[in-house]
Amino acid sequence: MTLDLAAPVEVLAKALIDLPSVSGDEREIADQVEAALRACAHLEVTRLGNNVVARTTLGRAERVVVAGHLDTVPIASNVPGRWADDGATLWGRGAVDMKAGVAVQLSLAAALTEPTRDVTWVLYDQEEVEETRNGLGRVSRERPDLLQADFAVLGEPTGGVIEGGCNGTLRVDVTVQGKAAHSARSWKGVNAIHHAAPLLQALEEYEAETIEVDGLKYREGLNAVGISGGIAGNVIPDSVTVTLNYRFSPAWPLEEAKERVEKFVQAAFTAHPETLERWQAAPDELALVYSLVWTDEAQACRPGLDAPLARSFAAAVEATGAEPPRAKLGWTDVARFGALGIPAVNYGPGDPELAHADDERCAVSQIREVRAGLEAWLTS
């Protein structure tokens, strides 16, 4: 099969869905994308692993990056794709996250031979897995020159609405210490699981904040996402680990977000009378009550909607009838552009609540609308 970039964008999207590309297995789709883009005389194409970068070099005053990932989560009897609702809906793995968005990018990359801004089209692998394997991360480390730009658009599914920036995410293991003993003589030990109760109670009572950043409202969240402990059915547990996940707004730099979690955990334990008395007597002994180990961290990204290019992009998209920009509540790769000092937004077809679902599907009208919004901006 050869990708036809001149086909209607929804037909191209189905062709991409029909190419299985679960994370780590993107060679075939990357080969097809590379071959199709190399056939475009106006593009300069670079291949780095299974990452394909295509650039116009027209000497325009501004350069923008438009990026999307080629991989999907595992298939669930939803490849090949199919049409539903008399052709109004495209159904199949990646229809939302994010082969419809990639189709928009490839369609425009081929069609726009004279955009008013130079464009760097980035199609990358392994977004759906751990951060260390992320293809955009690899490009930024090995060829940062390919990502130099004044503005970036990431084609993550947003329902055809611009979503500015993204929340950051932290994961930390809080291990509460106790003392093992036979459960028949439980008073000889200290039950670590019981002593985790103040933290769990504080999490139950936690009220998520909504914080406004550059005019967009980001809802935060702090939750226990895992708990493990215990030795045997007749042993008082000497430790228990509660895993916390903090989704934080772009108002907080990474280190400040970590400090907020640390203060929350400390306040939870020191609010307990027994722990407070122990801590007040010997502050250094708080480390004997619990310990923290950070297991994952990703910086948030400010929306950057005050940048001139962002304002012009928002105007072009809203002219298609789309809603005004809103905050991106999850973490996306716009944070990588933010770390490079490049304002970035999310904009793509598909309802994000259907991403990764077995019945993943996208309205054809929305694929066309997103293509029209990007085209209007890149040719205005």
Q: How confident is the model at residue 276 (pLDDT cuts 50, 70, 90)?
A: low
Closest to 124 in 3D by CA, of 23, 195, 254: 23
- pLDDT number for residue 281: 56
Q: Does residue 285 surpass a pLDDT of 80?
A: no
Q: How confident is the model at residue 307 (pLDDT cuts 50, 70, 90)?
A: confident
- Calpha distance 270→286 (Å, rounded): 9
Question: How many separate helices (H) and strands (E) can be counted in the chain?
Answer: 12, 19
Q: How confident is the model at residue 212 (pLDDT cuts 50, 70, 90)?
A: very high
Q: Does residue 288 surpass a pLDDT of 70?
A: no
Name the residue type at position 370.
Answer: V
pLDDT tens for residues 160-195? Answer: 999 999 999 999 999 998 889 999 999 888 888 998
Q: Does residue 273 surpass a pLDDT of 90?
A: no
Residue 380 or residue 167, greater confidence: 167
- pLDDT number for residue 249: 95
Q: Does residue 284 surpass a pLDDT of 80?
A: no
- Calpha distance 159→338 (Å, rounded): 22
**What residues are paired with 226 via a beta bridge?**
243
Which position among 10, 26, 127, 238 bears the catalytic label?
A: 127
- pLDDT number for residue 286: 47
Residue with tokens 């793509």, as numbered in its chain: 348
- pLDDT number for residue 373: 95
Q: Encoding tokens for residue 282?
A: 């010997």
Q: Is 142 among the catalytic positions?
A: no
Q: Is 259 among the catalytic positions?
A: no
Q: Encoding tokens for residue 100?
A: 């419809």
Residue 117 DSSP one-character state = S
pLDDT tens for residues 63-117? Answer: 999 999 999 999 999 999 999 999 999 999 999 999 999 999 999 999 999 999 9
Respond yes or no on whether the N-terminal peptide bond of residue 80 is cis (omega within 30° of 0): yes
Name the residue type at position 206.
Answer: Y
Closest to 175 in 3D by CA, of 40, 104, 265, 263: 265
- Calpha distance 317→350 (Å, rounded): 15
10 Å CB burial of residue 105 (0-12, 13-18, 19+) is buried
- Calpha distance 289→350 (Å, rounded): 47
- Calpha distance 190→226 (Å, rounded): 22
Rg (CA), the chain: 24
- Name the packing angle between helices 308-318 and 364-379 (round to 10°): 140
**What residues are paired with 221 via a beta bridge?**
247
Which position among 10, 26, 71, 238 bears the catalytic label?
A: 71
**What's 242-258 look like in SS3?**
EEEEEEECCCCCHHHHH
Average pLDDT of the chain, as a whole number: 93
pLDDT tens for residues 112-159? Answer: 999 999 999 999 999 999 888 999 999 999 999 999 999 999 999 999
Respond yes or no on whether the N-terminal peptide bond of residue 98 is cis (omega within 30° of 0): yes
pLDDT tens for residues 12-37? Answer: 999 999 999 999 999 999 999 999 99
Query: How many other CB atoms sit within 10 Å of the CB of residue 133?
Result: 15
